[in-house]
Amino acid sequence: MLHKLQYISQGLTPDIHIQNIESALNAGVKLVQLRLKNISNESYIEYAIKAKALCEKFDAQLIINDNPLVAKACNASGLHLGLNDMSVLEAKKIILNKIIGGTANTFKHIQQRCAEGVNYIGLGPYRFTSTKEKLSPILGVDGYENIIQKMKKMSDTELVEVPIYAIGGIELNDIESIINIGIYGVAVSGLITNSTNKEHLVKEINKILYHV
């Protein structure tokens, strides 16, 4: 079972990404996505191996953003693909028996991702975020509710219970209402990266996600 809290790395340099990942792991995060952009495959692999070693130390899972070759090279737990990245089918030929997540912004994307056989869906953005370039239309609570309601109306033969993570500018006060809609978990970046008390924050998030 996938952890309901996913941390997506950020930082001005790859080294800072690694530092932020280690801080998140120290705080109790168990599912990490390494998201490096505008970097060579060689460098991406180098930092992915560092991230994998850290995740192993903390008994956490590592997801690689965008690049199946890097995911394979570092033996990551899985791969996350954006809507404009390589197809899930092609990626599955490169990495076998691994977690594959896919981005979605609409109900049609949800149907597409379910048909592709992804293991989880990152649905967003919830609100504006500067972390991602070329942002898709903002969903907000109403957007999530609309999509979840459409999913519930799908026939039993169509309905695939794929875990859906809300993503995009999510703050602590947003999480309870998002989960109450029927969303599985949250993927956050700045919320944890910028926190001055990460351990307390992660505990508070997990209380909401796991109702403890």
pLDDT digits (tens, 9 = 90+) for 169-209: 999 999 999 999 999 999 999 999 999 999 999 999 999 99
In DSSP terms, 100 is beta-bridged to: 79
How many whole angstroms separate alpha carbon 141 and alpha carbon 53? Answer: 37
Rg from Cα positions in the chain: 16
Q: From the CB of residue 34, how many other CB atoms can be counted at a distance below 10 Å? A: 30
Q: 């997990």: which residue's tokens?
A: 206
Q: Which DSSP category does 67 fall into?
A: -
- C-alpha dihedral, 3 to 46 to 69 to 136, nearest 10°: 60
In DSSP terms, 120 is beta-bridged to: 101
pLDDT at residue 199, as a whole number:
98
Tell me, which fold does domain 5-210 have in CATH?
Answer: TIM Barrel (3.20.20)
List pLDDT tens digits, range 58-73: 999 999 999 999 999 9
Are 168 and 129 in contact by the 8 Å Cβ rule? The answer is yes
Which segment of 2-16, 45-59, 155-169 scores lowest on mean pLDDT?
155-169
> Residue 162 — very low, low, confident or very high, per pLDDT cuts 50/70/90?
very high
Q: Show Cβ contacts of residue 96 under 8 Å, excluding neighbours closer than 6 positions.
A: none
Per the model's pLDDT, the better-predicted residue between 5 and 150 turns out to be: 5
pLDDT at residue 152, as a whole number:
83
Both tokens assigned to 56: 């192993």
pLDDT at residue 1, as a whole number:
85
Check: pTM over 0.75? Answer yes or no. Answer: yes
What single-letter amino acid sits at 178? Answer: I
Helix (H, G, I), strand (E, B) or coil at 62: strand
9-25 mean pLDDT: 98
In DSSP terms, 164 is beta-bridged to: 121
